[in-house]
Amino acid sequence: MSEKGIGMLLGVGTGALFGLLVAVLILKYTKTNGRIKCEYDERQAVLRGNGYRYGFFAMLICNVVYGFLEICLVGLPLTAGVAMILSVLIGLGVQIIYCIWHDCYFSLNERRPRVLIALAVIGGINLALGIYNLLDGSAMENGVLNFRCINLLCGLLFVAVFAALLMKHLGGDE
């Protein structure tokens, strides 16, 4: 493995560990009882299972479409890693938006305002980093999107989640 590859691996690994630590802190911060685990009632649990199923099938379809396009075309304007992360983000988006629409996104022991603040901060940081990487040209090499566009994709997922939350709230079904 080259020095650049080792450096990349160490950077991504450090970032993943830091992200995991931040996720645990956010989970504790957003709960009413200081626990990490979310608590759902039986109805929410069943509906969340449906959401996971739909998210899985969305991810599966994305991967099949990507594979088909990659086989049939000379190449797509994104790396395989970006395509895989994109399919995961689409699956997550389907699951999260399904849960929002079926009132099973927030757990019984969550403080909604704190969750929204955490989502806004994380989404805003990702969107800002993604736009920066896009504008400085590091998100694209030779016309192909690389891993530096992932922040933008994550930020766009957060925008979609906020839009779904806002539409649900304004619809008065909450």
Residue 158 has pLDDT above 80, yes or no: yes
Is residue 146 in some structural domain?
yes
Question: CA–CA separation, 5 vs 31, rounded Å?
Answer: 39
Q: Do the Cβ atoms of 35 and 28 come closer than 8 Å?
A: yes
Domain count, the chain: 1
Q: What is the pLDDT of residues 140-150, one digit of tens each?
A: 999 999 999 99
Give 173's pLDDT tier (boundaries 50, 70, 90): low
Q: Which is higher by pLDDT, 13 or 51?
A: 51
State residue 3's pLDDT score: 80
Q: What integer is the mean pLDDT of 16-33?
A: 86
* Choice among 24-33, 54-63, 111-120 with the minimum mean pLDDT: 24-33
Segments forming the whole domain that contains residue 121: 39-170
Is residue 80 in some structural domain?
yes
Q: What integer is the mean pLDDT of 29-55?
A: 92
**Highest mean pLDDT pick, 68-72, 73-77, 86-90:** 86-90
Is residue 143 in some structural domain?
yes
Is residue 68 in some structural domain?
yes
In this prediction the pTM is: 0.87
Q: Which is higher by pLDDT, 84 or 28?
A: 84
